[in-house]
Each structure stands twice: as structure tokens, then as C-alpha cells.
Chain A
Amino acid sequence: MDRRKFLVSASALAGASAFGLPRMARADAAKTAVEAAKQYSGTEISIVWEAGLQSLDPLNFSGPMWEEQTGIKVKVIEVPTAEMFTKILQEHRAGTGAYDALNVIPAWMPDLVRAGALEPLDAMVDKYGYRDQLQTIAPVYRDNQMTVDGKIYGFPDDGDVFIMYYRKDVLSDPKIQAAFKEKHGYDLPVPPATWKEFDDVGSFISDFTDNKPYGATFFRDAPYAQFMFQERFRNEGGRFFDADTMKATINSDAGLKVFNDWLAENEWMPAGVQTWGFVENLAAFLKGDSAMTISWPPYGRWGAGYGTDEEALSWVPKSQIAGKVGYSMPPGGHPQLAAGFALSISASSKQKEAAYLFIQWLNSEETSLQRVQLPYALRDPFRDGHFESPEYKAKWPEAPEYLAALKAGAINGLLDLSLIQTDRYEEALRQGISRLWGGDDPQAILNDTAATWDGITDKIGVDKQKAAYTAWASKPNAYPS
């Protein structure tokens, strides 16, 4: 603890004791930011945000609130997910200073840092006394999505994790239970804990109910399925690379098993499930057409009917399944911490200080708790306090179970692969998946993908990449322990 931090903590403690509120010290992070930001009143800062629902947070909620408190206008630059990396890097190369604050997908953070696009935040974190509140971010995000080479480049701001959602009413249906046991010789597990069980249960339900509902549905479109692959591959014991030679080992038995299981699952899932993304799968699940699925946290909220009366969510099918949904870890027990967002500052920003204060305020315990409860904004709980929030737990009857599942996910979760030029590896994987749906031989695809990965590694430099991989793989959440 350095001197400054000590002083801040001390004064905070003093303030807290004066009001008799022990948590007051942390709430100050938001207040501190607001107070310090007032000197920039009348200016405008920009923030890059994922286009669509995500942007409603700064557009409708946090942006206007910040402006009211500080007089600083917030200009939201909406960018589709797939282009965020490109735009941020392009802007940085051009050096226009058009972007001040940024939303950054953590897996890309190292690449952006290496390209010099992100501003290190340590100095400002200390200056504005934010270290304490960073400590209350759930450890998996705090330890893995905040720093590059020991320096802070972003505040983890979105607890993205794949949760399994299952229909308690369907899986516990006595008729299904009895028939399942007769066929498979063991009690139908609620919920299934392994992929073997999952496939047994899923195929059985599809068969037994004549696809009303389907045993399970997934998103299979490559950009989404790529995350599913990373998760399942590792839960099946797969390793991305040989730690010694840095040769890709994605074409191992684990990889082949995932691909073959996927193909087998498609047989009892809806025709055309290969093209399904977030929305198609969501619609099927909310309509009650699917007994099990795996996805990001909003499925849980909307499935419970929370906030779906909002105008912004009018496109979301009305939930037919409220009260019937159970939440658990996906089979294997280690969910993908898929994507997520961290708040960063552009290295070419001309208003770093004001932008920093904005993201500190956004990310602070006080503000973030409100933001993760916005029904439409897709920001998911990422702080210890979010999981335990009595306010949140009261939102719908099963909310406590939901938050418990998210918290468990944050503990057991698996990090997205993050190397040098991660996207090139992911692109090869995405292409492999789309080839799988196109009917190519799974082993051949995996061999090609591995070869492509090796090619990329060679080009980047085996030693350089090996160092990056080793650093990543040494994190506790890189592989199931």
C-alpha cells in the first residue's frame, strides 16, 4: 500500500466511521469521480460501446446521469461487436482522438495494449482512489481481465459467462423421468452434469415429446459456437497448444469428440440449428420450444420475464417459461467466460482524465449495481456485491438461484483464449466450425485448423507466442483445475 492509497483509505475510513457506514469508503469512488469531473463541465467525451441493446445503458441511463451530475456530455459511438477491435485500432492508427473511453473485449486487450492503443490506468486509479473498489470485482474478472503485463488497462465491467438454463418442469416430469430411467437405466439427472448425461437427456426428450419441446437447442452459428467450442473442448480435457513445442493440439481426441458430439446433437435439435445465433436460440427457449440451453446471463433474466415489458425489449418474445427455469453450470462444470467487456481509455484520447473519471464512475460499486440491474442493457453482474445484492435478489422469485449460478460461473469459469493476435486463431476456428456445418470431415477440419494455427504462430514467432500462451495458460481459469 503506497502512501497515497493509504491516505485515501484513511480518510475514507474516517468518513465512514463518522457516518457509521462501513461501506461508505467504497461508495466514494463514484462521488470522487463526480467531484473531480466537475472541472470538465461543459466538455464532451466519447465512448465506444457495442451497438444495439448494450448502448442503451450510456444512452438512456448512465450517460444522462453523468451529464446531470458533472456537466460533461457523453457521446456514445455505437460499433457492432465484430468491428470494435478494428475500429479502435484503426482510430488509434489514425490518431484522431475521436475516441476517449472504450469498451474492450478482454481477450483482445493484450493485442490492443501491444499495439499501443490503450492507456495504462494505474496512475489515475491511484490518483482517484479506486484500487479498493477494484478489489471487490469478482476475482476471475479482476485477476484476468484487468491487467496486461502487470499494468491496469481496463476495468472489468461485464460478468459474461455461459450458464445452463433448463426447464425444471420438463426435466422433472414424472412420465419423462420414468421413461428415461427405463431406457437408460439411471435416474434422469436434474440438471445433467456431464455431456454424456446431457446428450442422453436431450435426445431422449426430443424423442419422447416429439420435439415439443426439443431436448435442447444451442447457438451454432460460428461466431457464437466458437465460444462453445472453447468451453467444451477444455471441459473434455483438451489443450489448445502443446506447452513445449507450441504446436496446436486442437485436433486432439477432445476436439474431435466435441465436433462429433455436435453433429450427433444436431440430429435431435431443430433443423437448421446450424445457423442459430443469440436471438434464434433465445426465441426458441423463451417460447418453451427448448428444454435446455446454454447462453449468456440475459436469457435468465428475460426467461423470468424480468424487464421484458420495456419498450427496448419489445422484440424479445414474451416468456412462456417464467418460474420454470433452473440455472446451473453447463456440463463439465466449467463455463466459458465468453467475451465480456472492460472499460478502457484510448491512448490517443485528448481528454483522458475526464474519460477516466467517467469509467471509474460507471464501474464503481454504486453505479455498476444499478447498471447490471438495467433490464435491457446486457451488462451482467461482475462484482461480489452484485451477486449478493438484496435488491437484485428480489427482482423475481428465482433471482437468488440465478445470481448464485452467475457467482459459481465466475468462480469456475474458463477464460477466452488470449494470445498475440487472438482473433486470427479464433477466425480459423470459426471457419472450421462453418466447414463442419458445411459437411466436411471433422478430423480433416481440425487438422487444417491446427495447421492454420501453427502457420499463424510461425508468422508471429513461436517463442513470442509461446511466452504469451504460457502466461495465459498459467492463469487458474485457463483450464479446468
Chain B
Amino acid sequence: MVSGGGGSAVALAPGRLADRNFKYYMIFPAVLVILLIGLFPVIYTLIISFQNLTMMDEDTSFHGLMHYRALFEDARFWESLLHTFIFVAVALPAELLLGLAMAYLFLERLPGRQIFVALLVLPVVTSPIIAGATWRLLFDNQFGPINQILGWFAGEPVPIIWLVDPNFVYPAILIAEIWQWTPFMFLLLLAALSNVDKSQTEAAELDGASFLRTFRLIVLPAIWPVMAIAVLIRALDLFRLFDVVWALTRGGPGTSTETISIYAYVAGFQQFETSYTAAMAFVVIVILAVSITLVLRRLEIDR
């Protein structure tokens, strides 16, 4: 709307400018609050990580990078980071693929579909620590049903000590974790898949496209935004994995299943190495912030 000069246009200009800024004034308080809520803990963590607060000492003097240096040499920290990555790397694709498969299954009209969906969603609404405790009972080598059922197949008692045997602790934790969170993927993907125009897949089918080709060219692009967010949420959750591991193994045997969250909890709240834990937390924040930024940028480009 470019008017040819004249008083009205001149008079309008400041008004329009004010209008343009008005929306920023409106969101400013909200942005400020979010920044305070989000940034304050990060900055506070950073400050603490330069001090030397321990169980005994409230030493707030500046110690520079002392804790970061110690962290760098702390094998337990790097190992817990590695364990965390292992959990993410296995559980995330597993939950995604299983969730997708289940969503595909439930896309069809099935008798009792709604009841099944409701049942399948139960794990997600269960408190993780309770789910973990339940799995602990299930995995019990003496009274647990898992060994019993395996025993039926094997034809002899199966003496697997799931939560002690190093060969089985990871599978045990992963089973519990995947059991609990696959339905989350399932739900989101089911919603996303339901929104894919059915006639598009039918058209592709008539066009002679294979399932994979249809999925790659038609379904995947349609569900991609939802899927990406679901994966991102789960990846972040998995990176903070705590409850299930805590309930099942407390990070053991030894520290072989200790995640970064468990190590941080032990160091911060059992041993009260406050500053050291702050440094640990800050490193994790940096790692997460960098990877999320990269992932989000990637998503933006793809859209």
C-alpha cells in the first residue's frame, strides 16, 4: 500500500512504526522471564564451577579451570558419557523403528484398536522409577517371570542374573527403557501417519511403487517434522537417562552402566562435590547445546 505522498502517508509513518514495535513490547516481558528462568541457572552453574564448593567447604573464591581440568582427567566422567551415548545410540533407533512399526500396524482398522492404543500408552504414563522397580522384579533371577518364560523355551531353568551379569545389564536396561518409551514414539508417529493423505499412498501403490519407495518419497517427508521433534525429545530424554538405570543397577556392576546423570547425582548430591558437579553439568550443557543447535539448523534447511 504505497500511497503517493501527501499528508496522510506522512502522518501514518510514525504510527506504523509504533505498531511494528508494539508487538516487541508485548513479548518483551515473556522473553525476559524465559531468559531469566533459562539463563540464570546456566550462569549460576558456570559461576559455581569456577569456585570450590564441597561438602565441607563453602569456598567461593575463584579457582579458574581447576574442576574442568580434573574433569578432563576423570575417567569415570568420560566413561559415563560413553555409557550415555551407548544408551542413546541403541535405544533411540530402536524406539523409533518399533514405534513406527507399531504406528503402521495401528493405522489399519483393527478390532479393539482403541483399547490397544490405550494399553500401549500405559508405560509412558508410568513413573519411570516405578517402571524401573517393576522391571527389577521382572528380571529377578529367582522370582522374576522373564527367566521363567525363557526357561520354558529353553526346556531347563535359565539362571541369567540380569542385573549383575555384565553381558545382560545393558540388554536389561535397554529393554526396560525401550518398553517404556516406544509408545511415546508410537503415539506421535501414529498421529503423524494418520495425517498423511491416504490417497497419496494409494496413488503411489497404484503407480507401482514399493513400500520403501512410498515411505521414502511420500510418507517420510510428510511425517518428518513430527518425527524429527519426537527423535529430538527422546534423544534429550535419553541423554538424561537416570531412573531406569538407577532402579535396575544403580550404574553397576561397578560403574559399567553409569550414565552422566547418575554420575552427576552421585557426585553432586551424595558426595556434595558441588563445584565439580557444576563443571560436569556445564560441559554436558555445552555438548547438548551444540548438538541441538546443529540438529535444529539441519531441520530448518530440510524444510
Which A residues form the contact surface with B (CB < 8 A)? Answer: 85-86, 89-90, 111, 114-115, 222, 270-272, 274-275, 280, 420-421, 423-424, 427, 431-432, 434-435, 437-440, 445
Contact = CB atoms under 8 A, between A and B. Distances in A.
Given A275-B164, A434-B253, A280 B270 contact: no
Given A275-B164, A434-B164, A439-B166, A427 B269 contact: no
B56 A275 contact: no
Nearest to B143: A280
Given A115-B56, A222-B252, A431-B255, A275 B161 contact: yes
Nearest to A87: B269
A275 B266 contact: no
B141 interface: yes
Given A86-B269, A272-B161, A421-B271, A432 B254 contact: yes
A274 B252 CA distance: 13
Nearest to A460: B56
Contacts of B165: 438-439
Nearest to B276: A459
Nearest to B142: A272
B161 A111 contact: no
A459 to B, nearest CB: 9
B103 interface: no
B296 interface: no
Contact of B140 (A275, A427, A432): A275
A427 B253 CA distance: 12
A429 to B, nearest CB: 11
A437 B164 contact: yes
B159 interface: yes
Given A275-B161, A438-B164, A438-B165, A431 B252 contact: yes
B45 interface: no
Given A272-B142, A275-B164, 13 more contacts: A85-B270, A89-B55, A89-B272, A90-B269, A272-B159, A272-B161, A274-B161, A280-B142, A420-B56, A427-B270, A431-B252, A437-B164, A438-B169
Contacts of B250: 434
Interface string B252-287: 111110000000001001111000000000000000
A421 B266 CA distance: 13
A427 B258 CA distance: 13
Contacts of A437: 161, 164, 253
A357 to B, nearest CB: 30
B91 interface: no
A470 B265 CA distance: 31
Given A86-B270, A90-B269, A438 B253 contact: yes
A272 B141 contact: yes
A274 B165 CA distance: 10
B189 interface: no
Interface string B163-192: 111100100000000000000000000000
B67 to A, nearest CB: 11
A280 to B, nearest CB: 7
Closest 5 CB pairs of A and B: A438-B253, A434-B252, A435-B254, A272-B141, A434-B253
A438 B252 CA distance: 9
A270 B271 contact: no
B250 to A, nearest CB: 8
B119 to A, nearest CB: 29
A406 B249 CA distance: 34
Contacts of B163: 275
Contacts of B272: 89, 115
A432 B252 CA distance: 9
B252 A423 contact: no
B142 A270 contact: yes
B208 to A, nearest CB: 54
A271 B252 contact: no
B270 A431 contact: no
A431 B140 CA distance: 20
Contacts of A434: 164, 249-250, 252-254
A270 B56 CA distance: 43
12 contacts: A115-B55, A271-B141, A271-B142, A272-B141, A274-B164, A427-B266, A431-B255, A435-B252, A435-B254, A437-B161, A438-B169, A439-B165
A434 B271 CA distance: 19
A251 to B, nearest CB: 15
A432 B254 CA distance: 6
Contacts of A424: 271
Interface string B59-75: 00000000000000000
A438 B270 contact: no
B55 A421 contact: yes
Contacts of A431: 252-255
A114 B166 contact: no
A86 B255 CA distance: 20
A440 B254 contact: yes
A10 to B, nearest CB: 43
A480 B259 CA distance: 39
Contacts of B140: 272, 275
A271 B159 contact: yes
Nearest to B258: A431
Contacts of B169: 438
Contacts of A439: 165-166, 253
A435 B253 contact: yes
A466 to B, nearest CB: 16
A274 B159 CA distance: 12
Nearest to B55: A115
A423 B253 contact: no
A384 B224 CA distance: 73
Residue of B252, B254, B272 contacting most chain A CB atoms (<10 Å): B254
A223 to B, nearest CB: 9
Nearest to B141: A272
Nearest to A271: B159
Nearest to A432: B254
Contacts of B56: 111, 114-115, 420-421
Nearest to A456: B271
A438 B255 CA distance: 11
B256 A438 contact: yes
B254 A427 contact: no
A432 B55 CA distance: 24
Contacts of A271: 141-142, 159, 161
A271 B157 CA distance: 11
B55 to A, nearest CB: 6
Given A272-B142, A275-B161, A424-B271, A111 B254 contact: no
